[in-house]
Amino acid sequence: MASRSLAVFGFGNVGRVLCEQAVAVGCAVPVIADSSAAIVKKSGLTREDLETLSAAKASGTRLADAVSSVAEATVATPTEAVNFMATLPGKPGLADVSANANAANEYLLDALKLKLPISLANKKPLSEDLASFQSLTADKSLIGYEATVGAGLPVICTLQRMIDSGDRVTHVEGQLSGTLGYILSALQAGGKFSEIVREAKAQGFTEPDPRDDLSGTDVARKALILARTMGENISMDQITVEALFPESFASLPLDEFMDRLPEMDADIEAKVQEAASKGEMLRYAAVVEPGQPINVGLVSVKPGAPLASLQGTDNLVSFESAFYNTSPTVVRGPGAGLEVTAAGVLADYLLLTR
Amino acid sequence: MASRSLAVFGFGNVGRVLCEQAVAVGCAVPVIADSSAAIVKKSGLTREDLETLSAAKASGTRLADAVSSVAEATVATPTEAVNFMATLPGKPGLADVSANANAANEYLLDALKLKLPISLANKKPLSEDLASFQSLTADKSLIGYEATVGAGLPVICTLQRMIDSGDRVTHVEGQLSGTLGYILSALQAGGKFSEIVREAKAQGFTEPDPRDDLSGTDVARKALILARTMGENISMDQITVEALFPESFASLPLDEFMDRLPEMDADIEAKVQEAASKGEMLRYAAVVEPGQPINVGLVSVKPGAPLASLQGTDNLVSFESAFYNTSPTVVRGPGAGLEVTAAGVLADYLLLTR
């Protein structure tokens, strides 16, 4: 195996696990970066180095201020770190597991110019302006972004295989949020919306502000990435997103939002009942069809439909096409989590450098 | 795009569709081969050439005898055809959609020696002797075999991504035969085994001799390919395969076998009932776990299990691993058919030559 080395941008929980996984499969990690700085250690960060830096991060220390705790490590700008990676022999690459909206301009496009393959869990660079998506994905031999949709699940690769083989994808629908899947399952089981959301927040199943899940924005980003992969030249503002709270609740302080959750119960309960009255089930899904408006929101699905079989936090994506016209291809499983997200990023990098 | 050209070995129905799909995505097809000969046309076979040759094949004419119907085409041995492909600029490759058990020695290993990527729907080269599997898959940048299991469904790529990323796959189970899926669904719906098999044969859902499906051998080959991909160094004789007919029926003339099908009804009905008495469902599945005997045969599955959701001819494969330990990754959809099989082969070739 040609020697591999990965620069990891984003050193939160996924970044930490990705570094561990990379080292475990024999891949060096000579660069890690957060928003404060990149740390470069030419010989590769050791497990001990990574533990030291993880502990520092966990205690609130930025990488820029933690570099002195690692022997032979220096601080660099993102550009310097990318340039350094490009000097490495073998098959260096860059992983972006940050949530940096400026990643394309700060380091990803630089990496591509130097023919460094990039592997993304960061959805932002692919779901902001269309020009960035097109620049980043122009050479598919240099980018993997499986982990932006469904974490490690084979969603993008399934779609890309269909497109490459000349199949015409006609309909993609997906449950792309573990949190919303959990909430809809619990609603289906008869729970009250307000209680389910409070419980989910208490268990850590939601973002600190549950509106970040309930707004559907994260699902819309994933839908946009799917649509753009299908060749649709569209932007976020062309996606209709249904939030699971009224517009007037968007700017409430978090405490007040949580207190006023019960005001939404009747409305959502009515939607669950309406679906049930037709023998159907309510799901929160993204629906993408070529040339059609993209919808992200509540849908009522018939028993036997792919989305109907879902329970709990699993994600599911169903693909219909010219070739898959009698029965769709369906991919299902955990669509979030540190290990599966990191594994999705690592698998892309290894595939790009095979 | 670098110019692509594909040699297609096996010119039955899948081969014909593969040629059409390849030409449709701008890939030249300068070589096609059946068991009689390879036909080489340096400028690439045109749609008209392919139609002419398809018609000849459909009327029972071997390629060796049909070559004169195509201008500028010559007959070659497999070795000569492979050597010719290796002289082509761009990114030539070879697809094997035959059922040739000697494909490894006749052309696949030659192709690999010349660094031609190979893409297989032919299960035989990977499910005969272990040494052939190992030689063929030694350099994963030169082989794709997605279409050997579940046709175009993302089964092998999902498994390979897990393995590459350092995940430890612990349990793979699959419904890998559309025909057996159809039969088990119909049994579950209360049908009689003998009537279901006769009807399936009449509809063309089975092989001409239904025992080729009912024996489980084809499923066992797929299970073996999955197991070997997982690093299990095993052979077919280490797989326990349950045939859906008694040993004594194996050598009956086909007519007599069909006549005597009702003798099996009671036994299979009892198994369906036994599963039902536990609130479970009967499926025909392959179960692969590292270091464990591989079983292919009837299994009783609980409601809510991935295999329980299946109906009709869809295939399904479920992967559990160290990372996917709370809920498996599940891939489901049509696992047979001309278009989806050909598309699986073509996607592999395009990915290998990206």
Span B181-217, pLDDT tens digits? 999 999 999 999 999 999 999 988 899 999 999 999 9
User: Tokens 């994260």 belong to which residue?
Assistant: A218
B24 contacts on A by Cβ (under 8 Å) = 166
Residue at A69: amino acid letter: S
Residue at B3: amino acid letter: S
Residue among A53, A125, A57, A127 nearest A95 (CA) = A125
Residue A291 assigned to a binding site: no
The confidence score (pLDDT) of residue A2 equals 54
Residue among A111, A48, A52, A50 nearest A82 (CA) = A111
Best of B4, B20, B161 to disrupt the A interface by mutation (most A CBs within 10 Å)? Answer: B161
Task: Pick B273 or A1 by higher pLDDT.
Answer: B273
A334 contacts on B by Cβ (under 8 Å) = 324, 326-327, 329
**Burial of A293 from C-beta contacts in 10 A (0-12 / 13-18 / 19+):** exposed
User: Tokens 């022999």 belong to which residue?
Assistant: A89
Nearest to A333 among B24, B328, B350 (CB): B328
Residue at B237: amino acid letter: D
User: Tokens 């097809």 belong to which residue?
Assistant: B29
Q: CA-CA-CA-CA torsion for B338, B344, B345, B350, nearest 10 degrees?
A: 140
Best of B281, B329, B346, B353 to disrupt the A interface by mutation (most A CBs within 10 Å)? Answer: B329
- From B41, B57, B201, B222, the catalytic residue: B222
A311 contacts on B by Cβ (under 8 Å) = 304
Domains, chain A, with CATH or none: 4-152+338-352 (3.40.50.720), 164-333 (3.30.360.10)
Would you please indicate which residues of A are annotated as catalytic (active-site) residues? 222
Quote the CA–CA distance of A319 and B153 in Å, as a whole number: 11
CB atoms within 10 A of CB A8: 30
pLDDT tens across A123-135, in order?
Answer: 999 999 999 999 9
Chain B residue at shortest CA distance from A350? B164
A340 contacts on B by Cβ (under 8 Å) = 323-324
Nearest to B334 among A314, A327, A343 (CB): A327
Taking an 8 Å cut-off on Cβ atoms, the answer to whether B166 and A25 are in contact is: yes
Quote the CA–CA distance of B322 and B268 in Å, as a whole number: 36
**Residue B92 to residues A161, A206, B112, B349, Cα–Cα distance (Å):** 19, 49, 12, 9
Best of A20, A327, A349 to disrupt the B interface by mutation (most B CBs within 10 Å)? Answer: A327
Residue among A151, A59, A123, A169 nearest A348 (CA) = A151
Q: Determine the average pLDDT of the residues in B252-259.
A: 97
Secondary structure, 3-state, chain A: CCCEEEEEECCCHHHHHHHHHHHHCCCEEEEEECCCCEEECCCCCCHHHHHHHHHHHHCCCCHHHHHHHCCCCEEECHHHHHHHHHCCCCEEEEEECCCCCCHHHHHHHHHHHCCCCEEECCCHHHHCCHHHHHHHHCCCCCEECHHHCCCCCCCHHHHHHHHHCCCCEEEEEEECCHHHHHHHHHHHCCCCHHHHHHHHHHCCCCCCCCHHHHCCHHHHHHHHHHHHHCCCCCCHHHEEECCCCCHHHCCCCHHHHHHCHHHHHHHHHHHHHHHHHCCCEEEEEEEECCCCCEEEEEEEECCCCHHHHCCCCEEEEEEEECCCCCCCEEEEEECCCHHHHHHHHHHHHHHHCC
- The DSSP code sequence of B16-37 is HHHHHHHHHTT-EEEEEE-SS-
A220's CB contacts (< 8 A; 6+ apart) are A236, A239, A241, A286, A294, A296
Secondary structure, 3-state, A237-295: HHEEECCCCCHHHCCCCHHHHHHCHHHHHHHHHHHHHHHHHCCCEEEEEEEECCCCCEE
User: Tokens 């031609």 belong to which residue?
Assistant: B116
Residue B102 assigned to a binding site: no
From the CA of B49, how many Å to the nearest CA of chain A? 21
- φ, ψ for residue B95, nearest 5 deg: -110, 140
The confidence score (pLDDT) of residue B304 equals 85
Residue B100 assigned to a binding site: no
User: Tokens 């000097």 belong to which residue?
Assistant: A87
Residue A11 assigned to a binding site: yes
Chain B residue at shortest CA distance from A140? B354
The confidence score (pLDDT) of residue A190 equals 93
Does residue B218 surpass a pLDDT of 60? Answer: yes
**Residue A247 to residues A184, A284, A297, Cα–Cα distance (Å):** 20, 18, 14
Please tell me whether residue B118 adopts helix, strand or coil conformation: strand
Nearest to A334 among B154, B327, B342 (CB): B327
A332 contacts on B by Cβ (under 8 Å) = 306, 329-332
Quote the CA–CA distance of A286 and A241 in Å, as a whole number: 9
Distance of alpha carbon B342 from its chain centroid, rounded? 11
A28's CB contacts (< 8 A; 6+ apart) are A3, A4, A5, A6, A22, A44
From the CA of A236, how many Å to the nearest CA of chain B? 29
Does residue A64 surpass a pLDDT of 80? Answer: yes
Ramachandran category for residue A282: left, alpha or beta (phi over 0 → left; psi -120 to 50 → alpha)? beta
Please tell me whether residue B255 adopts helix, strand or coil conformation: helix
The confidence score (pLDDT) of residue B183 equals 95
Taking an 8 Å cut-off on Cβ atoms, the answer to whether A165 and B152 are in contact is: yes
**Residue A302 to residues A312, B105, B350, Cα–Cα distance (Å):** 18, 51, 37
Q: Determine the average pLDDT of the residues in B277-298.
A: 96
Q: Lowest mean pLDDT: which of A68-77, A127-136, A216-225, B304-313? A: B304-313
Quote the CA–CA distance of A107 and A113 in Å, as a whole number: 10
Quote the CA–CA distance of B100 and B191 in Å, as a whole number: 36
From the CA of B65, how many Å to the nearest CA of chain A? 31
Residue among B8, B6, B19 nearest B52 (CA) = B19
Is residue A21 a contact partner of residue B165, using CB atoms and an 8 Å limit?
yes
Quote the CA–CA distance of A45 and A28 in Å, as a whole number: 7
Taking an 8 Å cut-off on Cβ atoms, the answer to whether B158 and A162 are in contact is: no
Quote the CA–CA distance of A296 and B96 in Å, as a whole number: 42
Residue A297 assigned to a binding site: no
Quote the CA–CA distance of A111 and A108 in Å, as a whole number: 5
The confidence score (pLDDT) of residue B204 equals 87
pLDDT tens across B123-182, in order?
Answer: 999 999 999 999 999 999 999 999 999 999 999 999 999 999 999 999 999 999 999 999
Which pLDDT band, with edges at 50, 70 and 90, does A304 fall under? Answer: confident
Q: Determine the average pLDDT of the residues in B105-121.
A: 98
The confidence score (pLDDT) of residue B2 equals 54
Best of A14, A161, A171 to disrupt the B interface by mutation (most B CBs within 10 Å)? Answer: A161
ipTM value: 0.94
The confidence score (pLDDT) of residue A354 equals 87
Which pLDDT band, with edges at 50, 70 and 90, does A1 fall under? Answer: very low
First-last CA distance in chain B: 9
B306 contacts on A by Cβ (under 8 Å) = 332
Does residue A7 surpass a pLDDT of 80? Answer: yes
**Residue B300 to residues A24, A222, B269, B282, B335, Cα–Cα distance (Å):** 38, 37, 13, 5, 21
- φ, ψ for residue B234, nearest 5 deg: -130, 170
Residue B106 assigned to a binding site: no
Residue B10 assigned to a binding site: yes
CB atoms within 10 A of CB B141: 11
Does residue B96 surpass a pLDDT of 60? Answer: yes
CB atoms within 10 A of CB B130: 16
Residue at B10: amino acid letter: G
- For the question of residue B42 being annotated catalytic, the response is no
Does residue A287 surpass a pLDDT of 50? Answer: yes
Taking an 8 Å cut-off on Cβ atoms, the answer to whether A152 and B329 are in contact is: yes
Share of chain A above pLDDT 90, in %: 96
B311 contacts on A by Cβ (under 8 Å) = 304
The confidence score (pLDDT) of residue B1 equals 44
Chain B residue at shortest CA distance from A141? B354
